[in-house]
Structure 1
Amino acid sequence: MSKQKNNKLLIGTNNKGKLGEIKALLPKSIKIYSTTEFNLKSPTENGKTFEKNSLIKSKYFSKKSGLMCLADDSGLEIDFLNKKPGIYSARWGGKHGDFSKAIKRVYRELNKKDKNWKKRKIRARFVCALSISYFNKKIACVLGKVEGYISHKPKGKNGFGYDPIFIPLKKKRTFGQMKPSQKYKLDHRYQAFKKIRKFL
């Protein structure tokens, strides 16, 4: 990779929470662009895995903008729900990606499966696929995970998405209760970023 391509990077997401988290991980030497600056809508994510959906986004946004693109596809897998919502994590929030709706649906599904689910430890993980593409060429695609379990009720106002109901292993608080600086060092996005940063 020439230095020319490396000092400009488009973050392929229309999710402000993700944009902020990814920006915070990137080296300051890189000039970062967001999809809103190019007025880009998100492509249809019809892949069956986090990796495929991440690549759909990074290739699409790179072709549209002419810049190298880093895109993320991430979600929550709950073992007791056969790894749902998984790649459909955002879609559980409905058309406008309302995560308070998505969280209510998680609790509804758990109740359907077992009224006494709160007596169990419901294992879950956050998964993040990060990919870098330049036009149609895949430069890298990696996966990061953080294991944990589901909180019996939403706690905390920090973070975004399912953060208020996810407690990482060996911790007592949800991601929603943690300061961003604490969460960044633990979460799935950081785990993926550690693997992909050598390509930047």
Structure 2
Amino acid sequence: MHRLYLLKKVQKLLLATNNPGKFRELKEILPKKIKYFKPKDFRLREPIENGKTFKSNAKIKSLYAAKRTGLVCISDDSGLEVDALSKKPGIYSARWAGPTKNFDIAIKKVFNLLNKKKKLNSKARFICAISIAFPDGKSFEFQGKVEGYISFPARGKKGFGYDPIFIPKGEKKTFAQIGKLKKNKISHRYDAFVKIKKYFKFS
């Protein structure tokens, strides 16, 4: 039996993110009966994310938290790839928002770079890597994505991060306009969780 089937009996999970938007979306996708904790509940510092891929950074975060709390941990590392910017910001998506995680700064940077290239409607995608780690050091990683394109000006107040400038393929509104219910059915985060859904006991 796959080790991840142990998740069917899990009653507590640590979601290794201090981003309130990510924490909320993870909770909304996962089973409702599980009790969820944040790193702040254990006064955990954020580990240094020096991986070269979304999966490696997600793994760094999940193993760090699982080993220090004794809880099964789920972490998310996600970001925006813009084709006209050679797939930047990529794994540095959060860092473009600066130390205060102000994504208005990051969005302005994307605008300025694309405007110089005269490619404000570049193809883009959101990538999400999920890592599930156990206290004994075992971890499993999965990745999802959603294709789309960049659109300016920024529109919508319902999302977070780069959501106001990303329109998913087949839609006419940004992630920040369509609302959480629809977003949770088509997002990169949901695409990653579809791959681990079978390991949970949904009710």
Q: Determine if the TM-score, normalized by the shorter chain, exceeds 0.5.
A: yes
Q: Which residue of 2 aligns with 1:27?
A: 31
CA distance in structure 2 between the partners assigned to 1:191 and 1:37 by the alignment: 28
For these two proteins, the number of residue pairs brought into alignment is: 196
Write the mapping of 1:47-196 to structure 2, written as runs, cut at 5 A.
Answer: 47-112=51-116, 114=117, 116-118=118-120, 121-196=121-196
Write the letter of the residue equivalent to 1:182. K
Cα distance, 1:186–1:195 mapped onto 2, change above 3 Å: same
Write the letter of the residue equivalent to 2:102. D
Q: 1:16 pairs with 15, 20, 23, which one?
A: 20
1:41 equivalenced with 2:45 (yes/no): yes
Residue range with higher mean Cα deviation, 39-48 or 133-142: 133-142
Cα root mean square deviation, aligned: 1.5
1:167, CA displacement in angstroms? 0.2
5+ residue gaps, structure 2, are: none
1:160, CA displacement in angstroms? 0.3
Deviation digits for residues 18-57 of structure 1, max 9, x if unmatched?
0000001111222211111111121000000000000000
- The runs of at least 4 consecutive aligned structure 1 residues that moved more than 2 Å come to 1-5, 135-139, 197-200
Percent of aligned pairs sharing the same letter: 53
1:7, CA displacement in angstroms? 1.9
1:139, CA displacement in angstroms? 3.5
1:5, CA displacement in angstroms? 6.2
Deviation digits for residues 74-131 of structure 1, max 9, x if unmatched?
000001100000000000001111100000010111123x1x324xx41000000001
Between 1 and 2, higher relative CO (CA 8 Å, sep ≥ 6) is seen in 2
Cα distance, 1:136–1:83 mapped onto 2, change above 3 Å: farther
5+ residue gaps, structure 1, are: none
2:59–2:139 contact (8 Å) kept in structure 1? no
SS at match of 1:157: coil
CA distance in structure 2 between the partners assigned to 1:107 and 1:167 by the alignment: 15
Cα distance, 1:40–1:110 mapped onto 2, change above 3 Å: same
CA distance in structure 1 between the partners assigned to 2:46 and 2:183 by the alignment: 26
1:5–1:68 contact (8 Å) kept in structure 2? no
TM-score, scaled to structure 2: 0.92
Write the letter of the residue equivalent to 2:148. G
TM-score, scaled to structure 1: 0.93
